[in-house]
Amino acid sequence: MPSVTPNPNPNPKPRNKTIAAWLAFIGGQLGLHRLYLFGFGDVWAWMHPIAAALGWWGVERVRAYGQDDQLAWLLVPILGFTLAATALTAIYYGLMSPEKWNARHNPGHPAAAAGNTNWLTIGAVVFALLFGTIALMSSIVFSFQRYFEYQVEEAKKISQ
């Protein structure tokens, strides 16, 4: 079996932390941040749009069939949790130290300025905190509300 020599420099160009944070925040549900950092061969980058599409399908089912559609109860939170997870990823990228960022995403580039934190990076973190919290709390509230309404309906059926 032939041995495979690992590529000593998998990222030929330095990867910018600010761009990665904004891509995670804005295009996270499409996996754009992972495509930017790891390329088109990254499996997780292709999983993001699948999860987002399932969640958007749940939103469309709520519009078409109303809130009583049980499949939508499962699908809508997937979208919210995907948005919250990518917002958390943007926060993680934005708050990562420049040394750690450059060691992970810019190996072989001497003191790349791409890992430095600036006001645009902090802006991505702030917006990700705001919208990620909204997405996460909305998903939790929707899930619990539908679950408890379902339990009340079932209890009424039993009591009659």
d(CA 65, CA 58): 10
pLDDT number for residue 110: 67
Task: Please state, in angstroms and as integers, the Cα–Cα distance from residue 79 to each residue in 32, 50, 118, 135, 143, following that order.
Answer: 16, 10, 30, 8, 12
d(CA 76, CA 83): 11
> What is the three-class DSSP state of 104?
helix
The model's confidence at residue 37, banded by pLDDT at 50, 70 and 90, is very high
Instruction: Enumerate the domain spans of the chain.
Output: 17-159
pLDDT number for residue 11: 47
Average pLDDT on 140-159 reads 86
Closest-CA residue to 121 (of 87, 95, 149): 95
Tens digits of residue pLDDT in 68-127? 788 888 888 899 999 999 999 999 999 999 889 888 888 877 666 666 888 999 999 999
Q: What is the pTM of this model?
A: 0.80
The string of DSSP letters for 30-84 reads: GTHHHHHHH-TT-HHHHHHHHHHHHHHHHHHHHHHH-TT-HHHHHHHHHHHHHHH
The burial of 18, by beta-carbon neighbours within 10 Å (0-12 exposed, 13-18 middle, 19 or more buried), is given as buried
